[in-house]
Amino acid sequence: MIEVQKIRPAQVIGPLGEPLTIDSLPPVDTHRWVVRRKAEVVAAVNGGLLTVDEACDRYRLSLEEFASWQRAVDRSGMRGLRVTRIQKYRAEFDRQHRY
């Protein structure tokens, strides 16, 4: 019988174009989430370095919080992760997709 093994990449391309590995991810005890760190976690999940569940467990994030980071990156790139600008980018996105 053939077993399906999940092969993970050793590295993925980070949000700034640099190689990103498990060891270069933000520390597990991160409390201050700056844009770059959020984007690195999203890139790690999108690239298959971590699963969503692993990222949420590792960083003590709710699924909703991680999903909001992922949506922000999909909509506006790294700039969408800026907490102070979320409302502005959300309004721009809604306007663009309304018509």
Residue 13 covered by a domain = no
Calpha distance 91→4 (Å, rounded): 44
> What would the pLDDT profile of 15-61 be if each residue is shown by its tens digit?
999 999 999 999 999 989 999 999 999 999 999 999 999 999 999 99
pTM score, whole prediction: 0.79
> The domain spanning residue 58 has which CATH number?
1.10.10.10
CA distances from 44 to 1, 4, 85, 91, 93 (A): 31, 22, 23, 27, 25
Assigned domain for 26 exists? no
pLDDT at 72 over 70: yes
* Residues 49, 12 contacting (CB under 8 angstroms): yes
Residue 29 inside a domain? The answer is no
Domain assignment present for 14: no
Q: Compute the distance between CA of residue 75 and CA of residue 3 in angstroms, rounded to an integer.
A: 37
Which residue range forms the structural domain that includes residue 92?
34-98
Query: Is position 69 within any domain?
Result: yes
Give me the number of domains the chain comprises.
Answer: 1
